[in-house]
Amino acid sequence: MKTIILSGWAQPFDALAEIFPHAQHVDYSGCKSVSAALDLIAREAAGAVRVIGWSLGGALLMQAIAGKFIAPQQLVLLAAPLQFVASPDFSQAMDAQTFELFRASYSNDPERTARRFAGLIAKGDINQAEIIKKIGQGDNIWAGSKEKDIWLPWLGALEAQRLQAKDFLHFPPTLIIHGQNDAIVHPKQSQKLAEFIPQAKLIMLPEAGHAPHLHDGELLLDVINESF
């Protein structure tokens, strides 16, 4: 079964490789625009049965499916934002001022901000200390995270994400997995997603944060295999 995986913002493109060693992990970070990323996804995911996206990766997969760039049989979303920055008609997201402060911080000191972001990824998880260690292993994450010319534009893509831009009617059977203690994407976003996608199943992990795959990889695999 061909499986395509997209990782999250400022994370290694193969961040889920330990759990899904035989999947194809797509590196969209070097794309100069969302449209270029969608074209890349269309090429790489041609014929894919299952597509899995963590956070920003999940948001991009939703755009690719809504725009009919890809037509997978199964979609798995891990802590994926429906809309990353709050607007008057959608409050379950990061407020605009906090987002701007984060963007300014990343622009001025990308490596330090990326390390703080890793702490947010792990925050609220019962395995918080372990997850921070896993994220910080090796130099690759920090070498990539501090390349602000690569990741700064993707903050713009997150800011531009809007609920109204998506058409969920023709989405495939979708499994949504979210940590109840997520400090980056509010769990209510996944609850909304489950309402909008006709064939959706929502699994909330009560002791997890923003990284369900790092919370308990074996549990994640079991949940996915039991759901399809």
Please give the pLDDT value at position 147: 64
- Give the pLDDT score at 139: 45
The mean of the pLDDT values for the chain is 91
Is the pLDDT confidence value at 142 over 60?
no
Query: Number of C-alpha atoms within 13 angstroms, CB side, residue 47?
Result: 4
pLDDT at residue number 137 = 53
For residue 110, the one-letter residue type is: P
| Confidence band for 135, pLDDT divided at 50, 70 and 90 | confident
**How far apart are alpha carbons 91 and 58 in whole angstroms?**
20
pLDDT for 34-91, tens place per residue? 999 999 999 999 999 999 999 999 999 999 999 999 999 999 999 999 999 999 989 9
User: What pLDDT sits at residue 68?
Assistant: 95
In DSSP notation, 91-126 reads: -SSB-HHHHHHHHHHHHH-HHHHHHHHHHHHHTT-T
Tokens standing for residue 52:
């899995």
User: The domain spanning residue 195 has which CATH number?
Assistant: 3.40.50.1820
Domain span at residue 92? 3-227
Q: What is the pLDDT of residues 79-102, one digit of tens each?
A: 999 999 999 989 999 999 999 999
Q: For 113-128, what is each residue's pLDDT tens digit?
A: 888 888 999 999 999 9
What tokens appear for 173 in the block?
A: 């059977």
pLDDT at 140 over 80: no
C-alpha torsion sign, points 134, 137, 140, 146: positive
Number of domains in the chain: 1
Q: What is the mean pLDDT of residues 192-207?
A: 95
